[in-house]
Amino acid sequence: MDVSIIVIIKNESLYIKKCLNSILSQSYKNFELILIENNSTDGTLEIIESYKDERIKLFYYNNDSGYGDLRNYAIKKTTGKYIF
């Protein structure tokens, strides 16, 4: 895997489809999409789970300690040479 794309998510049901569709439709296909779900309560998780793409890797982080911790957790989950 060359590229890892990290998206941190919490209650993004209004925007998550547009975000995922945009990332997944890129012409460059050799990437993994690391989604860090942080206690969403608005249906975001159901939308994410409806996607059946092997590039999507969904992880759950149930700690409201801040975005720094979320990003550090996400980085540990990546396998790409480059992280976005």
CA dihedral sign of residues 24, 48, 66, 70: negative
pLDDT digits (tens, 9 = 90+) for 4-59: 999 999 999 999 999 999 999 999 999 999 999 988 899 999 999 999 999 999 99
**What confidence score (pLDDT) does residue 26 get?**
95
CA-closest candidate to residue 31, choices 49, 13, 50, 55: 55
Strand partners, 54: none
pTM of the predicted model as reported, rounded to 2 decimal places: 0.91
Sheet of 82-83, strand order: 56-60, 31-37, 3-9, 82-83
